Structure 1
């Protein structure tokens, strides 16, 4: 990540014809170690305007991927189809077509990279075993809890998403709210962080009060 960041910084400075630090303190690169943290990080980014009190719902959160997906979904002509898996990979998404799909079908999708032929986005491969509709529902519910500053009862049809990653309702909202404070150089469950620390030859990786598990690393 250090080498990648340096390359981006040099190219961007060259384009702007400036010198000096490109990555200030507000920028940082974190490795996401497991599926659970992918879901958490996606929600954390999409809910930035809500946490900052700039919006109340994902569909009113300007400059987010979630809003662009919602806007395209509202204009979708073939709504009779139950799944958004193929639609996410089509070229009919006017606003959100530059982003990778959300849903991945681990049983039927091709193994390996899925480079987008149009060049508009980096990959046509999804990154979560959750449909876009379910992800947006979870995002909407979470945003409402953050706005109300209290945690209500999560709808039953959304509960399996959190159960799959070992979180209860309170733990989910807490980690979405505090993601940037909990994780530093790496983010994941305590088990994933322990494995990553061993890979780096370190004793531990900081993740204070990590809700993704019963113990902290």
Structure 2
């Protein structure tokens, strides 16, 4: 059995800010939906996950690009907003952290105003050290996933009146290295419920980012808890998904139309303008968005990007580079 790679070989913000993360329940436990063995319905837990994701995205310097809550696992596509947390004041960092954890007495007294104007140098130094620690955690994917999974595990175990692991100990993460890979993995995540036959359309895919986006679009709003597309904000906004929302929706609907209307072999050879803009054929898009996890087990992008990421992380191999050459070049 292969040993899992350490996080520093999976996450490198200097190379890419985008990551696909997956957490699975142990023992095939049900996160949500109706358990066929026991008949117990856990559907309400999907809302727990969505609410927690939204809350974490507001507090962390990490943006939600896409998510899907499935029966016994969850997918998220995250963007680390590099430098954002460094601009927060000490007070803002401490307040953000207090949303989730009971802070040490020195922090609680400070935020409650108990010290007034008589803040001693030693106390200030202690506060600054704690703020530096919390600041680093609030821009860490590992801490984001930890605070998601721990909360859900505790709540589910309490409801089930049991103890022990709810999730596999480690979440899986994939570095997403370029725009084509980002569009592909987001589509793979957003289409997950339809592939699993627990939803029939994008609009009916409950507890997914695409349903949330479409509901907001219907009332001419930008989703509050999701990273916007570049077409949704002004040019001064730094952190945006680097393609158009309408193009993305078109790309999502294509696999659905293909499956419903005609087999893959009869697709026209020339891609539409949307596919041309993304530099991918209609056929390759269909394959990648249907089989992303089986095609790619590690970092995903064009071969050159995969090579650069491997070197930067001290890795000697580029897993699935042949699939990248075949489908994403």
Is the shorter-chain TM-score for this pair beyond 0.5, marking a shared fold?
yes
State the 1:203 CA deviation. 2.3
2:235 to 102, 108, 118: 108
State the 1:186 CA deviation. 1.6
- Please name the residue that 2:325 is paired with: 213
Contact map agreement 2:188 2:292 (CA 8 A) in 1:
yes
C-alpha deviations, 1:137-162, integer Å up to 9, x for none?
A: 22112222245573334997xx3333
- Please name the residue that 1:28 is paired with: 172
Distance 1:29 1:105, change over 3 A: same
- Please name the residue that 2:290 is paired with: 177
- Relative to the length of structure 1, the TM-score reads 0.67
Look up the SS of the partner of 1:53 in the other structure.
Answer: coil
State the 1:104 CA deviation. 5.7
- For the pair shown, the structure with the greater C-alpha radius of gyration is 2
Distance 1:50 1:147, change over 3 A: farther
2:181 to 26, 37, 55: 37
- Provide the C-alpha distance between the structure 2 equivalents of 1:139 and 1:215, rounded to a whole number of angstroms: 17
Question: Within 5 Å, which residues of 2 pair with 1:1-217?
Answer: 2=7, 3-4=142-143, 5-6=145-146, 9=149, 20-21=164-165, 23-24=167-168, 27-76=171-220, 87-88=221-222, 96-103=223-230, 108-111=235-238, 125-130=239-244, 132-147=245-260, 150-151=263-264, 152-153=267-268, 159-207=272-320, 210=323, 212-214=324-326
Distance 1:138 1:155, change over 3 A: farther
Distance 1:99 1:7, change over 3 A: closer
- Provide the C-alpha distance between the structure 2 equivalents of 1:172 and 1:73, rounded to a whole number of angstroms: 24
Instruction: For structure 2, list consecutive stretches of 5 or more residues without a partner in the other structure.
Output: 1-5, 8-141
State the 1:128 CA deviation. 2.2
- Provide the C-alpha distance between the structure 1 equivalents of 2:320 and 2:163, rounded to a whole number of angstroms: 34
- Please name the residue that 2:109 is paired with: none
- Provide the C-alpha distance between the structure 2 equivalents of 1:154 and 1:99, rounded to a whole number of angstroms: 35
Q: How many residues align?
A: 182
State the 1:164 CA deviation. 3.6
Give the CA RMSD over aligned residues: 3.5
- Relative to the length of structure 2, the TM-score reads 0.46
User: Which structure: greater helix fraction?
Assistant: 2
Look up the SS of the partner of 2:181 in the other structure.
Answer: helix
Distance 1:31 1:142, change over 3 A: same
- Provide the C-alpha distance between the structure 1 equivalents of 2:290 and 2:153, rounded to a whole number of angstroms: 33
Instruction: For structure 1, list consecutive stretches of 5 or more residues without a partner in the other structure.
Output: 77-86, 89-95, 112-124
